Amino acid sequence: MSKTMLNISGIQVEVTRKNIKNMHLSVKPPNGKVTVSAPIQMTDDAIDRFVRIKIGWVKRQIAKFEMQPRQSKREYVSGETLYVWGKQYYMRVEHSNRNSLILQNNNAILKVREESTVKQRESFVREWYRGLLKAEIARLLPKWEQITELKSAGYRTQYMTTRWGTCNLKTGIIRFNLQLAKKPPECLEYVILHELAHFIERTHNARFVAVMDEYMPMWREIKKTLNSQILDYM
């Protein structure tokens, strides 16, 4: 498997050549990254022609992501908003020698050292999100593994800007985007099932769709909800 970048009609396209028979074009959330999976022997010219045929659709999908609402750049000061499992909270910053973040009614009370920097506050809040997300994954991943009889080898959490989740078919490890802790809970379940389904089918073909339909008939609506959620500042 190899990856290259092509500029097609002014759009950067990430091309991954794999041992597959057909090409697959995707515009991925949350920022509209364009990717093509192509057979190993496929030439750049053939890929270029393939994408240009669909360039109108590609541009429309990119425009949808660009029009999505995004949070302003975070300064981690009182009055900013913070999203947790799809609910909006208003941040109230207090000074303390010990960092903490507590949700109380509609408020997110962030306690930090008075001299702490924006970067330090951001780092603490991200780790707080990581704790929330890991607790939910630990509860939900075994549930969906039991339902589908598909087993992962474990999971990781990381901050990603182009995908909600990924899976490594060789290692069996699933990676989840930290931003999922900000989205409605059903979105995490959708991503868990989506990545488990790739253990059966690596592409998003009819077989993959059939797996999703079998175990989560409402997955299309949940996917739409996830991709319409407010995103982080980028």
pLDDT digits (tens, 9 = 90+) for 32-87: 889 999 999 999 999 999 999 999 999 988 887 777 666 667 789 999 999 999 99
Other beta carbons within 10 Å of 126: 15
Structure tokens at 74: 């975070």
Domain boundaries, the chain: 2-67, 117-228
Q: What is the spatial distance between Cα 127 and Cα 47, in angstroms, rounded to a whole number?
A: 40
Pairing mode, strands 165-168 and 100-104: unpaired
Q: pTM of this prediction? A: 0.73
* The Cα angle at residue 108 between residues 105 and 111, in degrees rounded to 5: 130
Of the pLDDT bands very low, low, confident and very high (cuts 50, 70, 90), residue 200 is very high
Residue 108 in this model has a pLDDT that exceeds 70: yes
Other beta carbons within 10 Å of 114: 9
Look at residue 63 in the predicted model and tell me its pLDDT.
84
pLDDT tens digit sequence for 153-180: 999 999 887 789 999 999 999 999 999 9
**CATH tag for 117-228 (out of 3.30.565.10, 3.60.20.30, 3.90.25.10, 3.30.2010.10):** 3.30.2010.10
SS3 37: strand
Nearest to 90 by CA among 80, 105, 99, 77: 80
